[in-house]
Structure 1
C-alpha cells in the first residue's frame, strides 16, 4: 500500500492539514492498518504537491502559526480512482517474533514464554483498540457505503488479531507442556 494513496483517500473526503492527517486520520482511524509518523506524512505531502495531485494553500491565523491546508486536485482524484481499481499483490510481511521463535530452541522455556506473553499483551491491546473503533455493524440499514467498506476492513483486522492471540496462547501452552510445567 502506498502512503501517498492513503493520503489521497483522506483528502478526497475533505481538505486537511498535515497535522489533521496525522492525528485524525492515521492515529485515530487507520493506525491498525497503516501507521505513519509526522515526518513521513509531510514528506509525502510535498511529493504529492510536486506531482500535481494535491494543492497547498496557506491559511493565515492571528494567534498561531499559519496553516498549510491540502486539497485533492482532479489529477489526484484520477490517480486515486486508478489505484483503487488496481490489484494489490500480497504484502511482504516481516515477523521478527516468528524468526526469534524459529531459532528459540537455544533459549530456556521461561525466556520463550516471556517473549510470547509480551507479544500476547501487545496483540491484546491492539485488538481492544480495534474493537473500540466505532462503526456501524454489517447489516445496519443506516450505514453508509463508506462505513460498510470501513467495517469490512475493521472486521478483518479484528479477526487477524484474534487469530494471532489464539495462536500465541496455544504456543505458550505447548511450550509449558514441553517443560513439564
Structure 2
C-alpha cells in the first residue's frame, strides 16, 4: 500500500510543487492503449476516452494514433472476441454459455431481418423539390391573358 494520502480511486496524491512549470510529458502505455480500445468498443466518444486516461483529445490522438484509427472496428472486434469465447465455452458443454450464444444468434438474426425490411415499400425515391427559379419559370409558362408572352413573328426563321 502506498504511503501518504490517496484520492477516491486509490491514486497517490502528490502535494509537492513540480520542478518545471506545466504538465509533465505523457508516456504512452499498453494499459492506456487497451483502456482506450475497450472504451471505444463500449461506445464512448473520443473525448470521453481522453478524459478517462487523463489526456486532452489532441494528446490522445498524438500518442494513441493506432487506437484512434481502430475506433470504428473496436466494437466489432470486442463482439467477435466475446462470441468466440462463448462458442468455446459452449463447445465444452457450459449450459449458460450455450443459452447466451443462442440469444446472441437470435439478436443477430433480428438485426439482419430489420435491415432487410426497413426499406420495404420505399422503392421509389421522393421527387426532388424544385427550387424557386424553377417554380417561377413553370408559373410563367402557364400565364394567359394580358400578361401572356407574345408569339414570335412568323417571318423570323430559326
For the aligned pair, the TM-score class normalised by the smaller chain equals under 0.3
Higher RCO, Cα 8 Å, sep 6+? 1
Which one has the bigger helix percentage?
Answer: 1
Which structure would you say has the larger Rg? Answer: 2
TM-score (norm 2): 0.25
TM-score (norm 1): 0.22
Which one has the bigger strand percentage?
Answer: 1
